[in-house]
Homo-oligomer: A and B are copies of this chain.
């Protein structure tokens, strides 16, 4: 398989233009003919949910996913129950916005017992599945890079995410593949194949060298070492034909004019993704 020839599957993950509020990001996508956007929950507070939905609909954009649910492990049962409630709010918001995917960033351990935290993740997902099903929302487990194991997610490999998905035996749960998080994995292509029919999202960026920062060090596609085309081909072979989100945490990119960033995203998407 070769180049992608159009941008019809391209989605702007809103964090890539973090300086823009939702209205500005939607307007930017409209100007750039980018058909889809992934929305972050903390950005919804700027306009409120109803107005956010209206802004997106009026522009004719589709919503590829809502970021994020998850964050299941916590020290006490009460706290874990609060996380469940928050996930239910996220599911409602996703449904209201008209996307069918809630991305799950599963959360770090509350203490040194990472195995126990992994069990809390499984229990948390299990608890929200019925609510997700009622709202027509699919839960996308996104394994994060192991360097985030202590602060963001004890789910750090696609293998783990696949094992969780298989455990639940429902179409309401799948995986999200983000190249930045999984490119290093010696078992990557086996695990993508294993995820066939269960991939709910595909995120691109690049791993730049030298890597400037753990969180803010992602690069524009083509600027780094990830074999993007090879991974996309594998993801497509596994049956995924949905939106491809560009999700880049990078201070330097955030500081550039958004329209310029969107222009470069389109070029790099067609050339490298």
Known contacts A112-B226, A186-B156, A147 near B145 by CB under 8 Å: yes
Known contacts A150-B207, A151-B209, A214-B147, A113 near B227 by CB under 8 Å: yes
Is the beta-carbon distance between A211 and B113 smaller than 8 angstroms?
Answer: no
Chain B residue nearest to A159 in the complex (CB): B186
Chain A, interface residues (CB within 8 Å), range: 20 to 34
Given B145, B160, B217, B227, which contacts A112 in the complex, CB threshold below 8 Å?
B227
Interface residues of A in 130-164 (CB under 8 A from B): 145-147, 149-151, 156-157, 159-160
Cα separation A238 to B147 with both chains bound (whole Å): 26
Chain B residue nearest to A226 in the complex (CB): B112
Cα separation A55 to B74 with both chains bound (whole Å): 51
Output the residue of A118, A150, A226, A227 with the most chain B CB within 10 A: A150
Which secondary structure dominates where chain A touches chain B? loop
Question: Number of copies of this chain in the oligomer?
Answer: 2
CB neighbours (8 Å) of A183 from chain B are: 114, 149
Q: A262 in the interface, Cβ–Cβ < 8 Å?
A: no
Is the beta-carbon distance between B184 and A149 smaller than 8 angstroms?
Answer: yes
Cα separation A226 to B156 with both chains bound (whole Å): 16
Is the beta-carbon distance between B146 and A184 smaller than 8 angstroms?
Answer: yes
Q: A210 in the interface, Cβ–Cβ < 8 Å?
A: yes
Q: A59 in the interface, Cβ–Cβ < 8 Å?
A: no
Chain B residue nearest to A163 in the complex (CB): B186
Q: A225 in the interface, Cβ–Cβ < 8 Å?
A: yes
Interface residues of A, Cβ cutoff 8 Å to B? 109, 111-114, 118, 145-147, 149-151, 156-157, 159-160, 183-186, 207, 209-211, 213-214, 217, 224-227
